[in-house]
Amino acid sequence: MGANKIAIIGIGEVPTRTMPERSRWDIIYDTCMEAVRDSGLSKNDIGAVISTSPQAQPQLTAELAFGKLPEELGLENCKDTCVVNAGGAGTSNCLRLAEQYIASGVADAVLVHHVTVHSTIPVPDLIAFFAKAGVDLQWEYPFGSTYNIIMGLMANRYMHETGCTPLQMASVVTALRSWASRDPHSIFYGKAVPSPEKVLESSLLNTPLHKRESNILADGGCAMVVVSAERAKKMGKPAAYKLGESVRYFSATPMMRNMEKMVYGLRDTAKEAIAQAGITSSDVDIWNVYLAYPLAHPIMAEALEIAPFGQGGQYFLEGRMSFGGDIPWSTIGDAPGRGHTGSGVSAAVYVETARQLMGKAGERQVPDCAYVYQNTSGGSGFNNIATIWGRDPK
Amino acid sequence: MTTQNAQAEQFDMTRPLPIVQPWSEAFWAGAREGKLLLQHCKECSATIFYPRKFCPECWSADIEWRQASGKATVYTFSTAYDMVEPRFWADLPYTIAYVDLAEGPRMMTRIVDCAPEDIKVGMKVEVTFHKLDDKFSLPFFRPAAK
């Protein structure tokens, strides 16, 4: 499993916004129907539905897990449905399961989707969820740790080891927002791109994380239709073919995470996925990185051997990863640019990977885009799943 | 109604206590007495933190508790000024750190008795216990005595 078996042939997405007026099912209808229509198939061609688990939305999770979606959309030939949860890595596992459904004959076409509406979740519930998710309730949470602080711990160590400056770190936001400002699905679409200096003017949440280096919780959803690579090829439509995959587990509890082992894992998964795809690093047209926080991007740039050790931040400051730069990077702007939809950001990155390979990315379209690296990561970074997607089958 | 009362009604302002497993109760009993305890595997000599039911290195059940020196080095830290849970608001600003214990394991803690701007990676620290209630005391660290 992993290489040259499946392809994404249809995508659907609603803009990421704050939109409490839209119910979760309203978004599910629109994204799933758009993806099926985009695929050229009909609703009754869908043989299975897999949902990326919507975090902090227990009622919807239960409804999806207990099979409501195929019934709601009238998918008459759907043979099975389930919810997959690995946090931000959930969508990667949805695609793996889709591959298994297709390989085992359960389904010829699988609908994978995600929806999150944060804006109608009571604030105390949101705070309680994000305070406890991804940290250990015995050995971390009682000390007052948060997601932001976990990122601050990692960033401070990285800056200590490499000499990366606050201005270089802040420039990651500038790069991500430069893509997001041109993405109609981003919460920052059409908005001014803050300079690194402007980013640093925002208040300090916890060292070294400034307010503009954090995420805005938002509402959104997207969907994809997946078929076998063979079938996609026969259909002759623009598609994104999965060509390679590799994964490493690090640790569930942030304090147990060996940073060196994590960096090696980021590096090795990329190398293995690229090798499996039968290409080289220089063939990759877009590094579609999903890390949720900007502070981790310089580490990733170095792990991927795009920037030399200690130079990741400088690469961002020079604008090389920004829109118009020579290293297309996180072309929806990752969570800081797109707006944070929980586990939905990684789903949105997959849709963007497909969109770019299909040649439908509008102003952000990377010319002649043939290969995309994409990663996902779950929890507070318990793993890294690296994948390579191509415009053509192998 | 005061602002503080309004917050207390909207948010859970109670101090979170560690969610304890049976095999970690001895750690918290030690912390109550001002002792930092670590597990030691008698089979493979691994020093274990956080506490486990079996040794994570060799799966042996032959584990004993040993008192640690309480000495550690700051691996990294982050000082919080905003955007923490309401139940921690009263503590702001506070510094969370990973410290490497002299015995090897790394743990999360708070650095106390020190101005945030004076905290550095590589700083030598020593344990001090912060009482939450009659059952729990958290192992915090402060700059080591010269």
Which residue is closest to B110 within chain A, CA to CA? Answer: A143
At B83 the three-state DSSP class reads: coil
Of A143, A204, A255, the CB nearest to B106: A255
> What is the model's pLDDT at position A331?
98
Do A149 and B80 lie within an 8 Å CB cutoff? yes
DSSP label at residue B117 = G
pLDDT of residue B12: 86
Predicted pLDDT of residue A37:
98
pLDDT tens digits along A171-195: 999 999 999 999 999 999 999 999 9
Beta B94-101 vs B106-111: how paired, if at all?
Answer: antiparallel
Return the CATH number of A6-121+217-235, one of 3.40.50.970, 3.40.50.12370, 1.10.443.10, 3.40.47.10.
Answer: 3.40.47.10
Cα–Cα distance between A346 and A344 in angstroms, integer? Answer: 5
Which residues of chain B fall short of a pLDDT of 50?
1-2
Bond preceding residue A208 cis, omega within 30 of 0: yes
- Asked if B97's CB is within 8 angstroms of A148's CB, the reply is no
Question: H-helix or E-strand containing B71?
Answer: strand B71-80
**In chain A, which residue's Cα lies nearest the Cα of B7?**
A124
CB proximity A143 to B under 8 Å:
yes
CATH 2.40.50.840 residue ranges of chain B are 69-146
pLDDT tier, A1 (very low <50, low <70, confident <90, very high otherwise): very low
Please indicate whether, in this complex, the C-beta atoms of B75 and A157 are within 8 angstroms of each other: yes
> Scanning every residue of chain B, which has its alpha carbon at the shortest distance from the alpha carbon of A127?
B85
Query: Is the Cβ pair B88, A124 closer than 8 Å?
Result: no
Residue A157 touches chain B, beta carbons under 8 Å: yes
Instruction: State whether B78 and A152 contact (CB < 8 Å).
Output: yes
At A285-342, the pLDDT tens digits run 999 999 989 999 999 999 999 999 999 999 999 999 999 999 999 999 999 999 999 8
Helices (H), B1-140: 3-10, 25-32
Q: Between chains, do B96 and A145 touch, taking CB under 8 Å as contact?
A: yes
Tell me, yes or no, if B133 comes closer than 8 A to chain A by beta carbon: no
Question: Structure tokens of A172?
Answer: 């990651």
Angstroms from B13 CA to nearest CA on chain A: 11
B6 touching chain A per CB within 8 A:
no
pLDDT at A123: 86
Q: Which fold has domain B69-146?
A: OB fold (Dihydrolipoamide Acetyltransferase, E2P) (2.40.50)
CA distance A196 to chain B (A): 21
| 3-class state of residue B72 by DSSP | strand
Position A157 confidence tier, pLDDT thresholds 50, 70, 90: very high
Question: How far is residue A376's CA from residue A270's CA, in Å, rounded to a whole number?
Answer: 12
Percentage of chain A surpassing pLDDT 70? 99
Residue of A nearest to B86 (CA): A127
- On the question of pLDDT at A128 being above 90, the answer is no
Q: State pLDDT tens for residues A85-126.
A: 999 999 999 999 999 999 999 999 999 999 999 999 998 888
Residue A4 — very low, low, confident or very high, per pLDDT cuts 50/70/90? low
Backbone phi, psi, residue A66, to 5°: -95, 20
Identify all chain B residues contacting A144, using CB atoms and an 8 Å cutoff.
80, 84-85, 88, 91, 94, 96, 110
For residue A2, name the pLDDT band (cuts at 50, 70, 90).
very low
Give A131's pLDDT tier (boundaries 50, 70, 90): confident
Q: Let me know: does A374 contact A353? Beta carbons within 8 Å.
A: yes
Of B96, B98, B116, the CB nearest to A144: B96
What is each CA distance from A117 to A114, A121, A356, in whole angstroms?
10, 8, 26
**Cα–chain center distance at A296:** 14
pLDDT of residue B7: 61
Domain boundaries, chain A: 6-121+217-235
Q: What is the ipTM of this complex?
A: 0.95
